[in-house]
Amino acid sequence: GSAEGSRGFGAHDPFLRVRGARENNLRGVDVDVPRDALVVVTGVSGSGKSSLAFGTIYAEAQRRYFESVAPYARRLIHQVGAPKVEEITGLPPAVALEQRRSAPTSRSSVGTVTTLSNSLRMLFSRAGTYPPGATRLDSDSFSPNTAVGACPRCHGLGVVHDVTEESLVPDQDLTIRQGAIASWPGAWQGKNLRDILDALGHDVDRPWRELPRRDREWILFTDEQPVVTVHPVREAHRITRPYQGTYTSAKRYVLKTFADSKSTALRERAARFMTSGPCPACGGRRLGPGALAVTFAGHDIADLTALPLDRLAALLRPTAEGPGDGVAETITRDLLARIEVLAELGLGYLGMDRPTPTLSAGELQRLRLATQLRSGLFGVVYVLDEPSAGLHPADTAPLLGVLERLIQAGNSLLVVEHDLDVMRRADWIVDVGPGAGEQGGHVLHSGSVAELAHVRESRTRRFLFGEGDAGPLGERDAGPGEPDGRREPRRPTGWLALGGITLHNLRDLDARFPLGVFTAVTGVSGSGKSTLVSRVLADVIAEHLGDRGAPAPAAAEAEEDGEEAELTYRHVGTVEGIEAVGRLVRVDQKPIGRTPRSNLATYTGLFDAVRKLYASTDEAKARGYTASRFSFNVPGGRCGTCQGEGFIAVELLFLPGTYAPCPTCGGARYNPDTLAVTHRGATIADVLGMTVDTAADFLADVPAASRGLRTLRDVGLGYLRLGQPATELSGGEAQRIKLATELQRIRRGHTVYLLDEPTTGLHPADTEVLMRQLHGLVDAGDSVIVVEHDMAVVADADWVVDLGPGGGDEGGRVVAQGTPREVAQSPDSRTAPYLRECLR
Ligand code: ADP
Ligand code: ADP
Ligand code: ZN
Ligand code: ZN
């Protein structure tokens, strides 16, 4: 691709023109879109929207930017590769706000991402009320993350942790062998420590409280780490050999695990054996005494940072709207203006101290969007990925207002979006399709929304214009119909009732969920849906099931989630009806892996069948290759340069975590010998390059693979490639992969499926496919509970629990519950009007 052609038009061409785009599945796409306008790119999942918006337009803008600012980066760009496009003209600099691949650091918070923290610190430094005689502090003194600002006692953490004999040994009547030291690690490691103590001459069969005090203290608190030869106590019929064991005191183990473990589960377990409380010096406020003595409007900065933004705005307003134009007025006006944008985007319930890892992808994108609005950039094209994700329909209008303002400020917007309300408001719509993967890659329409009504091939058309459409899910076979053709809601087979739930903004809430039906939990953003479903309900069920619960697909996650459960359980007073539940399956949007090494085929277990298939070929047998030869995760058959990743990480100053194809294998992942083995003319690398659809034919006679491939197609993922790295998948795709993995399992016992916004990233046509699957589970007797904003899905549920009325402190209550029809009539529910609209 070259930019030479753009000269002719100069900066005045009102169109951005793409010629010959061939990135991924794009079929030599030519498309013109207006600048200074809201352009929505739509089409079914996998049709090529991202390939056009991000892979072509944004990638090319970024390439040009690097070339202009950093000539040295050229070499690196060469490695990363330019997008496959003949020409793009009229292309302004681009800013992408993507949902996938945003990995905020754990230190960041709402305040840091939006830079509101900086302004607030400035306000306290320059315009705070200081005690008499105190000298003014600089901004850094108001940050717990700096050496000058942090409370000297807790180093800015706000809490102090310690261990005591009581916390480490909760039941002193037990002997060490009986598990007196509950804080020790479990399983083998715990037995190991016990055997070491035994070898050191301690009595492991005497009740703890009868051991000499000095011994007890040494066992729990010593910093020594003696090494002894252990002759393990013989277990059942296992033969055990002597070995060298290192002793670690309970204190050392607990504090170290808490400080260093990568596993949330282990950290939280360690925390249970610690006494931790607010730091006595700062009272949990994380700052030194000097900073905490400074106030604004009667509050210290820690108070203000913890307030929901809506409340903070109310506190700042009197100053901002005052007549003066001093420092206080200037800073508060700026703060207020920025907070108002956040509030408009439905984020007013967040506090500045909220860590970004606890935010959803949609919330984070909207935070960034709001921040852009105040950046003063103009002449930029913003490329966005489904900004409506996580938004209640009531919040869509304000979102559109913010997008409109970005345009008024002189920018262009290219938005990949599935929300029909956003599509309707577009100045221009680009419909990509008609299908996914090979069946997509064409621009079916590029023009006004109204004109799309005449494009027969478009799958979007039916949803926008409603032709021949008996409601989005109308085709599903239904029970006795209601007057409008909708089926009768199913009847619950039982109820799961939780009482006295207190967590985040839920305060002593009672909630009940019907079993054996499809339930939708609704409410504006921040009302408490995720807290109720993904935290409380999930954890209560997991706790009840104990080891009987289904392991989450990824082992590491299962461990973490399982452990969190015990902690959260304390947030619930009473639980009734849980005996009916035999299994829990959470299908969330967390990535299926964090490196390009994990992919669709490995995650679903499909790849095991493929490797066995290749090991069973004559060629492999002749060469003596077993299935492990065909793994790219162990040495042997894989490419030595990239160690089977197919990519190498490129350290780019501006682009952390960028990958370039491996120079040795060109992305194949394997060495030439392994690739000499073929099945029906395809190497194992070729199989990883196949889409699910293609592989379903190729592997049709391999039962272990075809079953999994079929379920992947059933959830609408036929367009994904088997080797598609986990890092390239959207949250919605990850979620559907998990669902497919689950569907291929043999099921037993009543299962409760929990899903958080399963329609994210889905075109309405994809939503239909997914919903057919979910309703199929309910028809088979299981329960499905979804958090959802898509009213088509909600209208087709059997039961609706609507939370609200607002977000944060204004939410957390059940505003209405019942069948969709009943909830649609609720006068207090903000969901009701939208649901009514959909039920008409
Ligand atoms: P959409 O954004 O419409 O969901 P994408 O542009 O992400 O679609 O994908 C279009 C097609 O390109 C799909 O078949 C997808 O599997 C394929 N694809 C996406 N990313 C890559 C990639 N990095 N390499 C090869 N193919 C890809
Ligand atoms: P919804 O799913 O309806 O958008 P959430 O359950 O995510 O709402 O949030 C409900 C309330 O709980 C909000 O005020 C939110 O800020 C707060 N909240 C959610 N998660 C956390 C968390 N990890 N830490 C602190 N507060 C949280
Ligand atoms: Zn402190
Ligand atoms: Zn390689």
- Token pair recorded at residue 706: 């075809």
Ligand 2 atom with the smallest distance to the CA of 527 is 3
**92 and 19 co-located in one domain:** yes
The verdict on 154 and 186 lying in the same domain is no
pLDDT at 356 over 90: no
Is the pLDDT at 647 greater than 90? The verdict is no
User: What is the pLDDT at residue 2?
Assistant: 41
Regarding the beta carbon of 459 and ligand 2, being less than 6 Å apart is answered no
Q: 396 Cβ partners below 8 Å, 6+ apart?
A: 388, 419, 421, 422
Residue 567 has pLDDT above 60, yes or no: no
Instruction: Please identify which residue in the block is written with the tokens 């996580």.
Output: 390
Does residue 774 sit in helix, strand or coil?
helix
Q: How far is CA 397 from CA 249, 346, 387, 836, in A?
A: 59, 10, 12, 18
pLDDT recorded at residue 205: 94
Taking the model in full, what pTM does it have? 0.79
Supply the residue whose CA is at minimum distance from atom 16 of ligand 1: 720
Ligand 1 atom closest to the CA of 691, numbered from 1:
16
**Structural domain that includes position 291:** 112-158+280-344
Q: How far is the CA of 270 from the centre of ligand 2 (A)?
A: 25
Q: Which of ligand 2's atoms lies nearest the C-alpha of 350?
A: 16
Residue 556, pLDDT > 70, answer no
In a domain, 119, yes or no: yes
Output the domain CATH number for residue 759. Answer: 3.40.50.300
764 Cβ closer than 6 Å to some ligand 2 atom: no
Q: Mean pLDDT throughout 94-100?
A: 76
Q: Are residues 308 and 455 in the same domain?
A: no
Best-predicted range by mean pLDDT (219-228, 244-253, 790-799): 790-799
Does position 471 have pLDDT exceeding 50, yes or no?
Answer: no
CA-wise closest residue to 515 among 588, 577, 587:
577
Confirm whether 392 is domain-assigned: no
Classify residue 761: in a domain, yes or no: yes
> What's the rounded Cα separation, in Å, for the pair 278 and 159?
4
Is the pLDDT at 658 greater than 80, yes or no?
no
511 assigned to some structural domain: yes
Is the residue at 479 inside a domain? no
Edge-to-edge, what's the strand order for the sheet holding 412-416?
Answer: 94-97, 381-385, 412-416, 38-42, 428-433, 442-447
Q: Model confidence at 791, in pLDDT bands (50, 70, 90)? A: very high
Instruction: Given the cut 0.90, state whether the ipTM is greater than it.
Output: yes
CATH number at residue 233: 1.10.8.280
Tell me: do 273 and 165 sit in the same domain: yes
203 and 338 in a single domain? The answer is: no
| Closest by Cα among 245, 244, 273, 265 to 184 | 273
Q: What confidence category does residue 259 fall into, taking pLDDT thresholds of 50, 70 and 90?
A: confident
pLDDT in tens, 707-723: 999 999 988 899 999 99
Let me know: does 371 contact 406? Beta carbons within 8 Å: no
Q: Please indicate, yes or no, whether residues 271 and 167 belong to a single structural domain of this protein.
A: yes
- Residues of the chain with pLDDT > 90, as a percent, come to 60
Q: Is residue 720 part of a domain?
A: no
- Give the span between the Cα atoms of 733 and 728, in whole angstroms: 10
What CATH number does the domain containing 665 carry?
1.20.1580.10
- The per-residue pLDDT for 545 is 85
Query: How far does the centroid of ligand 2 lie from the alpha carbon of residue 367, in Å?
Result: 15
Q: Residues lining ligand 1, CB < 6 A?
A: 24-25, 43, 45-51, 436-437, 719-721, 728
Q: Is residue 527 part of a domain?
A: yes
Whether residues 10 and 149 share a domain: the answer is no
**How many other β-carbons are positioned within 10 Å of the β-carbon of residue 664?**
14
Sheet with 15-21, side-by-side order of all strands: 29-34, 15-21, 85-89
- Counting from 1 in the atom list of ligand 2, the atom nearest the Cα of 530 is 2
Mutation choice for ligand 1 from 40, 50, 729, 736, CB with most ligand atoms inside 8 A: 50
Q: Report CA-CA distances (Å) from 647 to 55, 483, 555, 690.
A: 18, 57, 25, 18
Please give the single-letter amino acid code of residue 266.
L
**DSSP annotation of 487:** B
Tokens 């119909």 belong to residue = 481
Residues forming beta bridges with residue 94, ordered by sequence position: 381
Judged by its nearest atom, the ligand closest to the C-alpha of residue 152 is: 3
Q: Whose CA is closest to 746, among 583, 564, 531? A: 583
Answer yes or no: is 398 within a domain. no
395 near 525, Cβ under 8 Å? yes
Q: What is the side-by-side strand order in the sheet with 783-787? A: 583-587, 751-756, 783-787, 518-522, 799-804, 813-818
Picking from 640, 669, 700, the residue at the C-terminal end of a domain is: 700
The continuous run of DSSP H or E covering 530 comes out as: helix 529-530
Length of the chain, in residues: 840
Write down the residue that tokens 């596993």 correspond to: 263
Span 652-670, mean pLDDT? 73
Element (H, E) at 614: helix 606-615
355 CA → ligand 3 middle, Å: 19
Same domain, 142 and 284: yes
Cβ pair 342, 371 in contact under 8 A: no
808 in the same domain as 784: yes
User: Are 177 and 325 within one domain?
Assistant: no
Please name every residue paired with 649 in a beta bridge, in sequence order, or none if there are none: 659
Amino acid at 156: G
Structural domains of the chain, count: 5
Average pLDDT over residues 406-417: 94
25, 45, 54, 383, best to mutate for ligand 1 pocket (most atoms within 8 Å of CB)? 25
Does one domain contain both 73 and 167? no
Residue given tokens 């690690």 in the structure block = 185
Same domain, 125 and 94: no
